[in-house]
Amino acid sequence: MGCWAIGGPFHAGGVQSGWGDVDDAESVRAIRAAIDAGVTFFDTADVYGAGHSERILGQALGSERHDVVVATKFGNVFNEQTREITGSDASPTHIRRACEASLKRLGRDYIDLLQFHINEYDIDRAAEVRDTLQDLTREGKIRAFGWSTDWPERAAVFAEAPACTSVQFQMNVLDDNPAMRRFCDQQNLAAINRGPLAMGLLTGKYDRGGISDPADVRGPNSPDWMKYFVRGKPSEEFLGRVAAIRDILTTDGRSLVQGALAWLWARSGRTIPIPGFKSVKQVQENAGAMAFGPLSQEQVAEIDRLLDR
13-63 confidence digits (pLDDT tens): 888 999 999 999 999 999 999 999 999 999 999 999 999 999 999 999 987
Residue 309 to residue 304: CA distance in whole angstroms = 5
pLDDT of residue 63: 74
Which H helix or E strand runs over 243?
Answer: helix 236-249
Closest CA relative to residue 261, chosen from 224, 306, 294: 294
Q: What is the dihedral of CA 14, 44, 169, 228, to 10 degrees?
A: -40
pLDDT of residue 222: 86
Closest CA relative to residue 198, chosen from 172, 168, 169: 172
Regions of the chain where pLDDT drops below 50:
none
Q: Which residues contact 283 (CB under 8 A, 6 or more apart)?
A: 1, 30, 31, 33, 34, 37, 39, 277
Q: Which residues contact 122 (CB under 8 A, 6 or more apart)?
A: none
Percent of the chain residues past pLDDT 90, beyond the cut: 91
pLDDT of residue 66: 82
Residue 105 to residue 53: CA distance in whole angstroms = 9
Residue 39 to residue 37: CA distance in whole angstroms = 6
Domains of the chain: 5-199+269-294 (3.20.20.100)
